[in-house]
């Protein structure tokens, strides 16, 4: 089951790109707006939001915010999903121009809520903080608050609420690459990290394994970042997703690494195929196989670890390095 309510909150410095992505007619089922005059097409939405930012001389920096709100499968209609999305926008951004695009192109109905960064009412900027502890600042909202509001709306409408957060975060640039059928290096980086987490027992081994593949690992306090071959800049683990933060990597490394050798070889084989594949459709299919194999392997690890603890010996299972 996917995370119900908020699965991602992000900011953009290119509102045009965000609106174009969210307004894709091949994906949209229903559109509604909040505090807007025009919504007939993406061009009108971009222009109206731009005029607001420009009138307060605040068009630079962050131009907008993007919330993805997902629901369990098709347990609610497209119209109901859109209504709930609009209610969420009203609660967290009542003084801002918003457009709610409900997408119907995946296995579950979900909203893309686009929020202008500047209030049409008073010119104040929308502030979304990254505090996951629930802390807040005057005039700002954070991920916990947004999720709580969305969960409350789901409960009020008799919809499923799942507390487990979505692990992978994708930037707008990455989503646009996928929409155009182009390859994103972040897919290969995540897969490399996943394999290293499964096959190593401490951070030194983890770091060494990645660096042998040309992936630089940098630590600064509680933060970790990676530099993929051919990329000029580092990318933070938390930008890749919650599963790639220092805390989650450390947790994974602390687990017993008793796994079936054949199953692990399958993981390695699929990752190499993903890395070499340039055809978007084939790469997407390989990624599905990789994710499924990883899930299966993790279940087998838990079962075998428990069996090993009970029996007190390995019984033919090998420790992967």
Burial of 131 (0-12, 13-18, 19+ CB in 10 A): middle
Mean pLDDT of 50-71: 93
Percentage of the chain with pLDDT > 90?
A: 31
Residue 283 pLDDT: 77
Average pLDDT over all residues of the chain: 80
By mean pLDDT, which of 13-17, 69-73, 159-163, 229-233 is the weakest?
159-163
Mean pLDDT of 68-85: 89
Q: How far apart are CA 78 and CA 81, in angstroms?
A: 5
Mean pLDDT of 148-172: 70
Q: Where are the alpha helices (DSSP H) in the chain?
A: 15-22, 42-55, 78-92, 143-156, 172-179, 185-199, 203-212, 237-240, 246-253, 261-276, 280-311
Distance in angstroms between the alpha carbons of the first and the last residue of the chain = 32
For residues 89 and 98, is the Cβ–Cβ distance under 8 A?
Answer: yes
The pLDDT confidence band at residue 41, using thresholds 50, 70 and 90, is: confident
- CA distances to 249, 297, 308 from 303, rounded to whole Å, are 21, 10, 9
SS3 state at 22: helix
For residues 199 and 208, is the Cβ–Cβ distance under 8 A?
Answer: no
Percentage of the chain with pLDDT > 70?
A: 77
> Each residue of 255-265: pLDDT tens digit?
655 555 666 77
Helices 280-311/185-199 angle, 10° precision = 10
Residue 87 pLDDT: 96
Q: How many CB atoms lie within 10 A of CB 276?
A: 10
Mean pLDDT of 103-111: 87
Residue 173 pLDDT: 55
Residue 267 pLDDT: 81
Residue 279 pLDDT: 75
Provide the sign of the torsion angle of the four alpha carbons 28, 32, 33, 38, taken in this order: positive
Q: How far apart are CA 302 and CA 308, in angstroms?
A: 10
Residue 181 pLDDT: 43
Angle at 4 between CA 111 and CA 87, to 5 degrees: 50
The single residue listed with the structure tokens 């196989």 is 289
Angle at 71 between CA 157 and CA 244, to 5 degrees: 135
Burial of 108 (0-12, 13-18, 19+ CB in 10 A): middle
The single residue listed with the structure tokens 């790109």 is 17
> Among residues 217, 229, 223, 220, which one has the least CA distance to residue 193?
217
The pLDDT confidence band at residue 215, using thresholds 50, 70 and 90, is: very high
The pLDDT confidence band at residue 28, using thresholds 50, 70 and 90, is: very high
Domains of the chain: 5-166 (3.30.930.30), 176-319 (no CATH)
Mean pLDDT of 78-89: 95
Residue 165 pLDDT: 46
pLDDT at 231 over 60: yes
Q: How many CB atoms lie within 10 A of CB 318?
A: 13
Q: Is the pTM of this model over 0.95?
A: no
Name which residue leads in pLDDT, 131 or 199.
Answer: 199
pLDDT at 212 over 50: yes
Residue 141 pLDDT: 80
Mean pLDDT of 72-98: 92
Name which residue leads in pLDDT, 253 or 194.
Answer: 194
pLDDT at 96 over 90: yes
Mean pLDDT of 49-75: 91
Name which residue leads in pLDDT, 98 or 186.
Answer: 98
Name which residue leads in pLDDT, 1 or 41.
Answer: 41
Q: Tokens in use for 46? A: 């971009």
The pLDDT confidence band at residue 123, using thresholds 50, 70 and 90, is: very high
Q: How far apart are CA 103 and CA 109, in angstroms?
A: 6
């Amino acid at each position: 089951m996917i995370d119900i309510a908020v699965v991602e909150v992000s900011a953009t410095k290119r509102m045009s790109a965000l609106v174009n992505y969210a307004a894709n007619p091949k994906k949209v089922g229903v559109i509604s707006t909040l505090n807007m005059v025009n919504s007939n097409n993406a061009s009108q939405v971009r222009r109206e939001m731009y005029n607001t930012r420009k009138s307060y001389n605040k068009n630079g920096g962050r131009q907008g915010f993007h919330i993805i709100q997902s629901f369990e499968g098709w347990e609610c209609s497209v119209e109901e999903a859109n209504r709930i999305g609009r209610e969420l926008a009203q609660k967290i951004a009542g003084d801002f121009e918003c457009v709610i695009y409900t997408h119907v192109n995946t296995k579950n109905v979900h909203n893309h809520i686009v929020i202008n960064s500047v209030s049409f009412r008073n010119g104040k900027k929308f502030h979304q903080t990254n505090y996951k502890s629930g802390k807040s600042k005057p005039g700002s909202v954070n991920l916990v608050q947004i999720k709580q509001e969305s969960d409350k709306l789901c409960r009020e409408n008799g919809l499923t609420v799942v507390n487990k957060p979505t692990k992978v975060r994708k930037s707008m640039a990455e989503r646009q690459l996928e929409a155009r059928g182009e390859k994103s290096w972040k897919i290969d980086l995540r897969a490399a990290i996943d394999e290293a987490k499964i096959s190593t027992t401490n951070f030194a081994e983890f770091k060494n394994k990645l660096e042998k593949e040309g992936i630089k690992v940098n630590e600064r306090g509680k933060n970790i970042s990676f530099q993929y071959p051919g990329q000029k800049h580092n990318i933070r683990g938390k930008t890749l997703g919650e599963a790639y933060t220092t805390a989650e990597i450390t947790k994974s490394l602390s687990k017993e690494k008793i796994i079936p050798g054949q199953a692990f070889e399958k993981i390695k084989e699929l990752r190499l195929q993903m890395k070499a594949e340039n055809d978007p459709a084939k790469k997407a299919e390989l990624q599905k196989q990789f994710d499924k194999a990883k899930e299966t392997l993790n279940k087998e690890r838990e079962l075998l670890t428990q069996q090993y603890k009970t029996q007190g010996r390995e019984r033919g299972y090998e420790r992967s390095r």
